């Protein structure tokens, strides 16, 4: 928590205002019992109505000031807490956006969402409570003790028993609940993960009749969280009855001792009432402190999780001095080997090849052969374990990520469609794309055929994830997005899989004309998609087992022949 509080420095002025008005509120609270004691001692007992009205007016004025102070302090405390939460969310979001795939894989999507929402909300609540109570409770406790002693030291002695008992209770409650709160946050992560998997995989779940199984899985996670929450709440259920019991016994002893003092003539009734009010204020200040100790453990667990994200350094770092490649997208892989985190076997091993501007390079291989990993390395989503990747003779690790990705356009295997219009989705590829450029890209991607028939054309709204589009339509929109901007290198990562052979052929022919001056890499499982490429790279178990044209590989590569024969008939091969 303290490490995160350094980000509160920019709100020092608002914090000072909040604490100032809270302190003022506490002092006004301490003044009221004194006035009430005077009313009883000098007004009620003597029947002096004028004195009662005079002091009563003062009490009313002090109460109004108290309310005003409470409103102002609450406003500034809420302002600081909300702005602090906003800053934390922005920082976490920016940090996550700059994470490499290493860090994304390490944390997981569900926990990153929880940390940026639920965890930060817990921290906000505690910041608000601290600003409201951290000054009010000490002022009330210390000031109330001084005022109570000034009225009657003997009556105040009851606090010597009440306060230690309450302090011990609060300590054990905090000690017991801290691990439970940490556990709760992890269990919330688990529920979020299961819910996310069910929502994104709803078609698969229903297709395989796994709805009952997934419901049971969710119920187990939900029940686990519920039981932990119940444990915490059972502890909290004891807190206030315990505190009220201590308070009631304290008041009983207070009246008992006070009655003896009044009987002896050593104390007035008004003083007993004033001391009782001060003791109640002191005990209530401990209730405030106990509330802080109740919420701080959960917020501390959340703060640890948020701070972990903020302090995690990305493994992919930009160079101090960036080099700018001077060329049109010449790619060279030099003895590239790559291991995933914790893996014993390399995902890619000793990969070497070149791709020149104007060439269409096809990459093919069985599932798990390393095709997408190769693409991820070129985009520097991961860094190579050994070897180097050069663009126009410059190692990509010597180029900033932003500059590198300015030169490369990626159409991924899973088309990601964002909520908004078709125009908005295509314009992601080029911010300042004109309407004519967007339509041209849609035509090349063979998407204009269905877009032009929509009531609003490119202005048609697309739902989140593109759920109102078919798989082929989404892929064609993703292709249009990828080619709308002028780039040196284009990567099509198995993005033709949802297209029929006729549409696939049309798209590739159009791309030949559109991207004739760029370096184009087409990754595919389908032979028909890459067989007319200028150069085909065959991958098998992370190794290159063949490079050449279709005709050359049919003669030299056994793996390629097996792939071809598994997909094409003898007539098509001939």
* Tokens 């405390």, located at residue: 77
- For helices 435-444 and 501-514, give the axis angle rounded to 10 degrees: 130
Does residue 458 contact residue 438 with C-beta atoms inside 8 Å? yes
Give me the tens of pLDDT residue by residue for the chain, a chain 574 residues long: 788 888 899 999 999 999 999 989 888 888 888 777 777 777 776 777 887 888 888 889 988 999 999 999 999 999 999 999 999 999 999 998 888 888 888 888 878 888 888 889 989 988 998 888 877 888 888 887 888 777 777 777 777 777 787 778 777 777 777 778 778 877 887 888 888 788 778 878 888 788 888 899 899 999 998 998 888 888 777 777 777 787 788 778 777 777 777 777 666 777 777 777 777 787 777 777 777 766 777 788 788 889 999 998 888 888 888 888 888 889 999 999 999 887 888 999 999 999 999 999 999 988 888 898 999 999 998 899 999 999 998 999 999 988 888 899 998 888 888 888 888 888 988 888 888 889 999 999 888 888 888 888 888 888 877 777 888 888 889 899 998 888 899 999 888 877 788 888 888 888 888 888 899 999 988 888 888 899 999 999 899 999 999 899 988 989 998 888 888 767 666 6
* Tokens 């002025």, located at residue: 13
Give the bridge partners for 543, in sequence order.
Answer: 540
Q: What are phi and psi of 500, to 5 degrees?
A: -70, 165
CA of 31: how far to CAs of 20, 149, 198, in Å?
17, 14, 59
Give the bridge partners for 542, in sequence order.
Answer: none
Q: Write the DSSP string, 4-56.
A: GGGGGGGGHHHHHHHHHHHHHHHHHHHHHHHHHHHIIIIIITTT-HHHHHHHH
4-311 adopts what CATH topology? ABC transporter transmembrane region fold (1.20.1560)
Q: What are phi and psi of 519, to 5 degrees?
A: -90, 125
Cα distance between the two ends of the chain: 70
CA of 300: how far to CAs of 83, 171, 177, 419, in Å?
19, 16, 11, 36
* Tokens 């003597």, located at residue: 46
Which tokens hold the place of 89? 């969310």
Which tokens hold the place of 135? 């000054």
Does residue 465 contact residue 203 with C-beta atoms inside 8 Å? no
Which tokens hold the place of 221? 């996670």
Which tokens hold the place of 127? 């910041």
Does residue 481 contact residue 492 with C-beta atoms inside 8 Å? no
CA of 124: how far to CAs of 60, 91, 134, 529, in Å?
34, 15, 15, 54
From 266, 39, 28, select the one nearest 152 (Cα to Cα): 266
Burial of 402 (0-12, 13-18, 19+ CB in 10 A): exposed
Which tokens hold the place of 14? 């608002």
Q: What is the pLDDT of residue 115?
A: 87
Predicted TM-score (pTM) of the model is 0.72
């Amino acid at each position: 928590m303290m490490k995160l509080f350094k980000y509160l420095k920019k709100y020092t002025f608002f914090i000072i205002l909040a604490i100032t008005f809270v302190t003022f509120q506490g002092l006004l609270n301490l003044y009221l019992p004194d006035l009430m004691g005077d009313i009883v001692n000098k007004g009620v007992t003597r029947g002096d109505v004028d004195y009662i009205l005079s002091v009563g007016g003062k009490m009313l004025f002090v109460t109004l000031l108290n309310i005003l102070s409470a409103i102002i302090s609450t406003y500034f405390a809420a302002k600081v807490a909300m702005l602090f939460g906003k800053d934390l969310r922005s920082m976490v979001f920016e940090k996550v956006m700059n994470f490499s795939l290493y860090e994304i894989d390490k944390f997981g999507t569900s926990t990153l969402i929880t940390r940026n929402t639920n965890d930060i909300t817990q921290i906000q609540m505690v910041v608000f409570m601290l600003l409201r109570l951290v000054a009010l409770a000490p002022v009330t406790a210390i000031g109330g003790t001084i005022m109570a002693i000034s009225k009657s030291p003997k009556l105040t002695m009851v606090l010597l028993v009440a306060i230690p008992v309450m302090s011990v209770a609060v300590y054990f409650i905090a000690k017991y609940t801290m691990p439970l709160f940490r556990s709760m946050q992890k269990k919330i992560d688990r529920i979020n993960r299961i819910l996310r998997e069910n929502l994104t995989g709803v078609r698969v779940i229903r297709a395989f009749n796994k709805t009952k199984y997934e419901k049971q899985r969710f119920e187990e996670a939900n029940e686990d969280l519920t039981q932990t929450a119940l444990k915490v709440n059972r502890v909290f259920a004891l807190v206030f009855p315990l505190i009220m019991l201590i308070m009631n016994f304290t008041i009983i002893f207070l009246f008992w001792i006070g009655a003896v003092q009044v009987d002896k003539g050593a104390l007035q009734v008004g003083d007993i009432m004033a001391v009782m009010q001060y003791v109640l204020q002191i005990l209530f200040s401990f209730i405030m402190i106990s509330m802080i100790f109740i919420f701080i453990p959960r917020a501390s667990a959340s703060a640890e999780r948020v701070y972990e994200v903020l302090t995690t350094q990305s493994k992919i770092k930009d160079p101090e001095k960036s080099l700018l490649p001077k060329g049109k997208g010449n790619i060279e892989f030099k003895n590239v080997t790559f291991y995933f985190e914790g893996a014993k076997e390399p995902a890619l091993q000793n990969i070497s090849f070149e791709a020149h501007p104007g060439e269409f390079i096809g990459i093919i291989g069985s599932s798990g052969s390393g095709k997408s990993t190769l693409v991820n390395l070129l985009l520097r989503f991961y860094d190579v374990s050994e070897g180097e990747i050069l663009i126009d003779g410059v190692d990509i690790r010597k180029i900033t990520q932003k500059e590198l990705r300015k030169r490369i356009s990626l159409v991924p295997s899973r088309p990601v469609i964002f909520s908004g219009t078709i125009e908005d989705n295509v314009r992601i590829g080029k911010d300042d794309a004109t309407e004519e450029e967007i339509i041209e890209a849609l035509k090349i991607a063979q998407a204009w055929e269905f877009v032009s028939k929509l009531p609003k054309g490119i202005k048609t709204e697309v739902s989140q994830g593109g759920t109102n589009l078919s798989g082929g339509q989404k892929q064609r929109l993703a292709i249009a997005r990828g080619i709308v901007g002028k780039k040196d290198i284009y990567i099509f990562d198995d993005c033709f899989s949802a297209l029929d052979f006729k549409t696939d052929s049309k798209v590739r022919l159009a791309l030949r004309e559109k991207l004739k001056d760029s370096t184009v890499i087409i990754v595919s499982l389908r032979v028909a998609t890459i067989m007319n490429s200028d150069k085909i790279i065959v991958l098998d178990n992370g190794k290159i087992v063949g490079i050449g044209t279709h005709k050359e590989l049919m003669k030299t590569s056994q793996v390629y022949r097996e792939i071809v024969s598994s997909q094409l008939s003898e007539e098509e091969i001939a």
